[in-house]
Structure 1
Amino acid sequence: MGRASKDKRDIYYRKAKEEGWRARSAYKLLQIDEAFSLFAGAHHVVDLCAAPGSWSQVLSRKLYLPAIQNGRNPPKIVAVDLQPMAPIEGIIQLQGDITSEVTAQEVIGHFDGNPADLVISDGAPDVTGLHDMDEYIQAQLILAALTIVTHVLKPGGTFVAKVFRGREISLLYSQLKLFFSMVTIAKPKSSRNSSIESFVVCQNYRAPAGFHPAHLRSLLDNMTASYLTHPLPTLAQRQLVPFVACGDLSGWDADRSYDLPQEGPAQEESRPPFTGS
């Protein structure tokens, strides 16, 4: 069965089409929120690598629209991506580089100088099929997202990002633990078990003493050389982080193929009687 056929039989793919989500990844954020209550008290939110916009749709439906309907002051939600995307109600869109301080200042400008309560990122590179390379590039992308996080996230805030779990992921955990007191790996039910994809939920942001966001920029610039000379984290750098399976475990399985609904009554295929010996 080809990939396209598998996607069309995936229950979350079909539900996303029925419920108007731009991608099935909307259910991943919804299930992470069920486990961690990400949206509770969130008034300033940033969606990094937002295109095509399914996570921004979730923010609109879960935060912005309920506030409007109940006559409350709506939250400010800023979506950032290098690519343009179709408008979403209540979402402020910025086209920019997430590693740029200019982009960070634009985000804060939309928040009237206030820091963000929550930063989320579902960004991922085009995979090559070489797992070590894909994991490394994804880790680089998370550190790039962390660059803007250190500019805009308030102390005690939360950061959620996609990760590829591989043999060297503990180094990334160690780096994130420098900035957040609690780091958890979440595996939503809508994320296929066969995928190395998971999501890191980083809570209670607290920058190290003496840290400045420019320091992280230099870390990214030197990351390639460091990776080539010290590709594996030392024992002291290894971190064990808790793992949470998100979503109703008695619900749909993202790896299972479900029967497609029939367009009309099923027709019995007429066959000649078996006459073989």
Structure 2
Amino acid sequence: MGKGSKDKRDLYYRKAKEQGYRARSAFKLLQLNDQFHFLDDPNLKRVVDLCAAPGSWSQVLSRKLFDENIDTDSEEKKIVAVDLQPMSPIPHVTTLQADITHPKTLARILDLFGNEKADFVCSDGAPDVTGLHDLDEYVQQQLIMSALQLTTCILKKGGVFVAKIFRGRDIDMLYSQLGYLFDKIVCAKPRSSRGTSLEAFIVCLGYNPPSSWIPKLDVNTSVDEFFQGCSFNRLVISDKLSHWNEEERSIAEFMACGSLESFDSDATYHDLPSSIANTISSLDPVQGPTNPPYKKALELKRSGKLTRSV
């Protein structure tokens, strides 16, 4: 999609550039916070951003926790961003290029926190969508479960977990599973998230795991084995067919975030306010790609080594 047309079509895309954010997704976290105020807690000191690249959510966290006008307790506040892809530096953010499923990543985060637990964990990660909704929803839920495993090992009791989800036919199963670990589950749809997308965000408030359960991250342990003790799996294996009873579905509260005065991410604005219309121009990216997949192809082309075969 052309840069000029996208600047005019999606105002969140343009506003992200104007305000110095690396991606429009920054407004999703901002609008979630406007509703739930989890980043406005004065006791918020240790934060983890999973699947963080390119870093727009980490930018929001940095600006919220490290207000230039407030210097108190700034040394105690720490933000750790984790992703398999490299990330350009962000003020006040420690970036880790690591796998969120590996125990070494957990150890590195706890070491940075001085073996203290995190107050807030978020994940805006998503797989490369295929267009096959059932497959995309399944892969996304597996990503959430991977993020959740790490979260249960580093999040303090009463903490908050926020993650991107794809709402589908079986999403109530995820709501039910999260309900064993948190006091309140809310499904939220920010106004900056396109209405045509299955994307939403699960906001998990009040981390409260079973007292008898001790999470332990292990690469050789399956998801089912990891969550044993949380009543995630109530299926009893038997060679006899048990009597079937329909279980009550767990439906999370749904909430739209962002005021009605916010821009509609699906709308095309032709008659813009004069303050915006007078400033329409092409903007350069806030942060260029750190390691684009086409980099090697460009180098070969410049050197004359990339030719089209007949």
Normalised by the length of structure 1, the TM-score is 0.84
Give % identity: 50
Match of 2:222 in 1: 218
Match of 2:31 in 1: 31
Distance change in 2, residues 1:237/1:146 (3 Å): farther
Structure 2: how far apart are the matches of 1:5 and 1:170?
Answer: 40
Structure 2: how far apart are the matches of 1:120 and 1:106?
Answer: 17
Code of the residue aligned with 2:88 in structure 1: it is: A
Show CA shifts across 1:214-273 (max 9, x none).
4894226899xx9xxxxxxx8426201111110112321110012384689xxxxxxxxx
Give how far 1:7 is off. 3.8
Could you tell me whether the CA contact under 8 Å between 2:46 and 2:120 is conserved in 1? yes
Show CA shifts across 1:121-152 (max 9, x none).
00000001000000010000000000110110
Any gaps of 5 or more consecutive residues in structure 1? 227-233, 265-277
Structure 2: how far apart are the matches of 1:103 and 1:215?
Answer: 10
Code of the residue aligned with 2:38 in structure 1: it is: L
Aligned to 1:247, which of 258, 263, 282?
258
Code of the residue aligned with 1:256 in structure 2: it is: A
Structure 1: how far apart are the matches of 2:5 and 2:202?
Answer: 27
Give how far 1:103 is off. 0.7
Structure 2: how far apart are the matches of 1:263 and 1:121?
Answer: 33
Structure 1: how far apart are the matches of 2:147 and 2:57?
Answer: 16
Could you tell me whether the CA contact under 8 Å between 1:47 and 1:120 is conserved in 2? yes
Show CA shifts across 1:8-60 (max 9, x none).
31010011111111000000000000100111131000000000000000011
- Partner SS state of residue 194, structure 1: coil
Give how far 1:100 is off. 1.5
Structure 2: how far apart are the matches of 1:131 and 1:222?
Answer: 27
- Normalized per residue, the structure richer in helix is 1
Instruction: Tell me how many residue pairs correspond in the alignment.
Output: 252
Match of 1:53 in 2: 55
Could you tell me whether the CA contact under 8 Å between 1:184 and 1:201 is conserved in 2? yes
Give how far 1:117 is off. 0.3
Structure 1: how far apart are the matches of 2:226 and 2:44?
Answer: 34
Match of 2:69 in 1: 69
Q: Does 1:179 align with 2:181?
A: yes
RMSD of aligned alpha carbons: 2.4
- Partner SS state of residue 137, structure 2: helix
